Amino acid sequence: MHDERRRIEERAERLHTQRIKPAIYAATIPMAVEAWQAPGEPVSFEEAASAPYEPFAMDTPWGPPWGTTWFRVSGRVPAAWAGRRVEAVIDLGFIGDWPGNQAEALVHLPDGRPLKAVNPLNQYVPIANPAAGGEQIDYLVEAASNPDILADNFAAPTPLGDVLTAGHKPLYSFRRADLAVLDEEVWHLDLDLQVLRELMVELGEHDPRRHEITHALDRALDLLDLDDISGSAAAVREALRPVLSKPAHASAHVISGVGHAHIDSAWLWPIRETKRKTSRTFSNVTSLADEYEEFVFACSQAQQYEWVRDNHPHVWARIKESVKKGQWAPVGGMWVESDGNLPGGEAIARQLIHGKRFFIEHFGIETKGVWLPDSFGYNAAYPQLAKLAGNEWFLTQKISWNQTNTFPHHTFWWEGIDGTRIFTHFPPVDTYNARFSGAEMARAVRNYAEKGAASRSLAPFGWGDGGGGPTREIMERARRLADLEGSPKVVVEHPDAFFAKAREEYPDAPVWVGELYLELHRATYTSQARTKQGNRRSEHKLREAELWATTAALHAPGYAYPYDKLDRLWKTVLLHQFHDILPGSSIAWVHREAEAEYARVAQELEELTAEAVAALGAGSTRVFNTSPFDRAEVIRTAAGASAYVQVPASGSAPLTEAEPPHPVTVDERVLDNGLVRVVVAEDGTLPSVVDLRADREVLAGQGNLLRLHTDLPNYWDAWDVDKHYKNRYTDLLEASQIEVVGQDPLRGSIRVTRSFGKGSRITQTITLRAGSPRIDFETDIDWHEAEKFLKAGFPFDIRAPHSSAEIQFGHIQRPTHTNTSWEAARFEVCGHRWVHLGEPGYGVALINDSTYGHDVSRTVREDGGTTTRVSLSLVRAPRIPDPGADQGRHRLTYSLLPGASIADAVAEGYALNLPLRVADSAGEPQPVVSVDGEGVTVEAVKLADDESGDVVVRLYESRGGRATGVVRTGFPLAGAQVTDLLERPLEDAESTDGGVSVSLRPFQILTLRLRRA
């Protein structure tokens, strides 16, 4: 037989696209349109309904960047359309097919009820099926003219990312507002052809099924009357029925389809626009649920539900009804889909606590899994945190973006740093916006790594980011693919059902140990440094406020614990940990607002802490220590003098000077406190740091070397730093000024000032204090560079086989060598408050108060010694999507701690990030809790969320070994329980004389609920 595939395929394509698709709507008539441009920010429906409207013609430009235009649309269904399926079709002037970064709208009924959204790939609004004829249609359409920030594939920076710089030129031309008759037979024929043609081209050239479909299409299209598409569509469909009804092979892969609409809580639009995107999408989803009884939609991010509840109660009511029917599945159990690396451990715990509580409270549903498809890597504490919140499974997608290595599993057990495992899936379809195309289905089967051992995977389907979620066309595809030869089987079901089946089928799935490191988007550890610093400060100020509020609630009569304020402030911080805000990958508007929000949070938390301390009574000056470790250190008093004080962990002490240790001396450019000696060279670097206790030189080269790298990644500017950044750099070796700026027996400081580049300036104050080997580098950067990357490097004379970096509730070890491509790909990694290097008998740590990115490398010197270098990433200067990213002032501190163990690094990490507080107070309360036992570290102290007055304490083992201890209370204890993260009892705690006994495995997290007598 002759091979006629090309002729048939080309024929099918032309007839499908040029004749059948245009015939989907059998008849149309234009609707009358009037418009009103809302001034400034979005307005309520009530204000829009009473506004003055003017006639508006099609193809008229509308919509300044970030503007809102309300359209009044009206028409009457012709009597001749009675019995037909009638819809409104609205095209705002959509561009391309990326649905999340352009115009979109919400259609309202005259009484204000949201009906459905209009999106680029979802332009219809249902009217009647069947229509009676004569229906009067009146809509108010709230249209958002959001600009395309990433037009031309990141070709150039754009001012469109902030309403302050975007201008006022209209972006869109309104194309269409019609009443239309949907020809259902033609519409179904279009879908039949889509599925068959896409399946056909994915099958192998020698696969008989491909040829069967090809010739079936040829025969069926012979029946198509080009003069009567509508009248002949049924015959064509009937001819295709045999080839569409052949069942899938018994061994066919099974894809569990889950409706989805990934909506970034902010990204290329501000938070205020996300609030509208959620309402639009959720109105679409609830409308689709009415059409398809098998439809299931998985939706995470409790914050977005709350926005819809507060802004659109009608949509909220429809969501609740869909949840009851089982068509809407709350998932994820987090306040937002946060970044997976940067939030602190307690913050991730609160993400899970607040998210799960929201779904329990409002829907009576406890979510079973963590849903994080789009975060940029996942820390190795997640398995334990997820399980402690009551979760059974974990889902991610982003690891498919790896730049170097292909992740080896799709279904696996993920083991965290403490040994906890959670059943995890990584969908082989490689998207969280699937539409069940032939290419996607073939890719899912081709990619699936578990062939031979398991046979099912998950596919989240639907348009995200304002695209409106799943569509009826996607649902129709799913129906056709439920059991079709040559394709995997598609079943639409709840993700809990998929995970239950997958675990039952594959209980002995392979194990992945440690972090899920994304080999891409490594610059998100550094971009938008002020946003990251705001988060770090907020996390620690929240800890401080909770501790002292708890102390006051226990010891200050009449003091009321600020439950509601703390709850609100936590949720504000959690929102800004979203995976495009905290990583620094959003537009300028988002980060401008984030910085302002962090300032408000800091001020309010400062007030709450001051109120709590003041409630303890006025009187003598005391020093308050929020850290979980006893501290003896030099502080600045209110008068500006230095004082050496000793303060217990989580407690306070009078401001009385302790016996001063060895005094600090400053001899020209040498700082010495009897513990370490620091030499500052003429170029401002450190040629020598001698640990006098160990009689050892710490450095193997210039320490605190500031290096300015050229930084232009291949694609995603704010997200990525590519390995070639290391190849071109300038060392900042010219110091414009070096001066001694502070010298007394307790403190010595040398200030180094540098100017460079395009008017940038760095001022560093290098400080050594009495009694501490810690060397602080207080850094003030006035930054005006573009496409540059600033690092501070320290070459250590240490042969360290691995580095240790703090992560959530513990630390992770990473090899310092690059034996394999997996290690080489980790050329930039994430850590929290400290990085540690050690060899047997000696170690050093670098500690910071706001940075996360760093790199570690090593070389062998000619003398045979090993130099292990750590470089802290301080600031970047990407231009896309925010052309002014990181420009301006940055103030941060990092510290070198010679002779440090892991325990020292942990303690000093807390100390740097939780400065001692000096305040007037007459009270001398005992610490709420204290711990006898090495390695048992208190992370949070608060009152129970149920307002019972119980005290909740979160502990963890911080050194990586087993730990035992006794938790003692500063109040009469009536009983204690071990709880999950949501403070629900798991078991009674073991009591001992005066406290609670604890025994922890390495990095174990333990939450205690302490009942007051």
- Beta partners for residue 645, in sequence order: 633
Q: Which residue, chain included where needed, has tokens 């701690």?
A: 897
| 3-state helix/strand/coil string of 592-629 | HHHHHHHHHHHHHHHHHHHHHHHHCCCCCEEEECCCCC
Q: pLDDT by residue (tens digit) across 902-912?
A: 999 999 999 99
Q: Which two tokens stand for residue 863?
A: 């003398």
Res 850 pLDDT > 80 = yes
3-state helix, strand, coil in the chain (%, to 5): 25, 30, 40
Average pLDDT over residues 673-687: 98
Average pLDDT over residues 706-729: 97
Nearest Cα to 751, choosing from 759, 743, 845? 743
Residues in the chain: 1013
How many other CB atoms are found less than 10 A from the CB of residue 295? 23
Residue 104's pLDDT band (boundaries 50, 70, 90)?
A: very high
d(Cα 394, Cα 423) in Å, to the nearest integer? Answer: 6
What are phi and psi for residue 793, nearest 5 degrees?
Answer: -105, 145
So what's the pLDDT on residue 925? 86
Q: Which two tokens stand for residue 616?
A: 């303890």
So what's the pLDDT on residue 155? 79
Query: Is 634 exposed, middle or buried (CB count within 10 Å of its CB: 0-12, 13-18, 19+)?
Result: buried
So what's the pLDDT on residue 742? 83
Query: What burial letters (b/e) apply to 679-701, b meaning 16+ CB within 10 Å?
Result: bbbebbbbbebbbbeeeeebbbb
Res 554 pLDDT > 90 = yes
Going by DSSP bridges, is the β-strand pair 67-76/32-38 parallel, antiparallel, or unpaired?
A: antiparallel
So what's the pLDDT on residue 2? 78
Res 3 pLDDT > 90 = no
- Whether 200 contacts 216, CB under 8 Å: no
Res 411 pLDDT > 90 = yes
Nearest Cα to 385, choosing from 981, 955, 958, 806? 981
Q: pLDDT by residue (tens digit) across 114-170?
A: 999 999 999 999 999 999 999 999 999 999 999 999 877 777 899 999 999 999 999
Average pLDDT over residues 172-191: 98
Res 831 pLDDT > 80 = yes
So what's the pLDDT on residue 727? 97
What are phi and psi for residue 17, nearest 5 degrees?
Answer: -80, -35
Residue 917 DSSP SS3: strand
Average pLDDT over residues 425-438: 97
Q: pLDDT by residue (tens digit) across 251-271?
A: 999 999 999 999 999 999 999
- Beta partners for residue 91, in sequence order: 176
| 3-state helix/strand/coil string of 674-723 | CCEEEECCCCCCECEEEECCCCEECECCCECEEEEEECCCCCCCCCCCCH
Measure Cα distances from 598 to 169, 274, 705 in Å: 32, 19, 31
Res 496 pLDDT > 80 = yes
Q: Which two tokens stand for residue 944?
A: 């129970």
Residue 515's pLDDT band (boundaries 50, 70, 90)?
A: very high
Name the percent of the chain lying above pLDDT 90: 94
- Whether 514 contacts 417, CB under 8 Å: yes
Catalytic positions: 374
Res 875 pLDDT > 80 = yes
- Beta partners for residue 462, in sequence order: none
d(Cα 475, Cα 461) in Å, to the nearest integer? Answer: 9
So what's the pLDDT on residue 971? 95
What are phi and psi for residue 108, nearest 5 degrees?
Answer: -115, 150
Res 921 pLDDT > 90 = no
Average pLDDT over residues 874-902: 98
Query: What burial letters (b/e) apply to 758-784, b meaning 16+ CB within 10 Å?
Result: eebbbbbbbbbbbbbbbbbbbbebebb
Res 978 pLDDT > 90 = yes
d(Cα 272, Cα 266) in Å, to the nearest integer? Answer: 8
Residue 86's pLDDT band (boundaries 50, 70, 90)?
A: very high
Measure Cα distances from 997 to 932, 935, 1009 in Å: 9, 14, 13
Going by DSSP bridges, is the β-strand pair 760-769/775-783 parallel, antiparallel, or unpaired?
A: antiparallel
Q: pLDDT by residue (tens digit) across 299-338?
A: 999 999 999 999 999 999 999 999 999 999 999 999 999 9
Omega before 126 within 30 of 0, i.e. cis:
no
Res 988 pLDDT > 80 = yes
Average pLDDT over residues 759-788: 98
So what's the pLDDT on residue 387? 98
Res 1000 pLDDT > 90 = yes
So what's the pLDDT on residue 802? 98
Average pLDDT over residues 642-650: 93
Res 244 pLDDT > 80 = yes
So what's the pLDDT on residue 23? 98
So what's the pLDDT on residue 809? 98
Contacts of 283 (CB under 8 A, 6+ apart): 106, 114, 115, 116, 117, 312, 315, 318
d(Cα 330, Cα 384) in Å, to the nearest integer? Answer: 21
Can you point out the beta strands (E) in 497-591?
511-513
Residue 99's pLDDT band (boundaries 50, 70, 90)?
A: confident
- Whether 331 contacts 352, CB under 8 Å: no
- The model carries a pTM of 0.97
For the chain, how big is the Rg over CA atoms in Å?
31
- Whether 810 contacts 420, CB under 8 Å: no
Average confidence score pLDDT of the chain: 96
Average pLDDT over residues 494-505: 98
Can you point out the beta strands (E) in 110-221?
114-118, 124-128, 136-145, 172-173, 176-182
Residue 698's pLDDT band (boundaries 50, 70, 90)?
A: very high
d(Cα 856, Cα 971) in Å, to the nearest integer? Answer: 46
Average pLDDT over residues 469-492: 98
Q: Which residue, chain included where needed, has tokens 């509208």?
A: 276
Residue 618's pLDDT band (boundaries 50, 70, 90)?
A: confident
Residue 190's pLDDT band (boundaries 50, 70, 90)?
A: very high
Q: Which two tokens stand for residue 860?
A: 């062998």
Q: Which two tokens stand for residue 867?
A: 């130099």
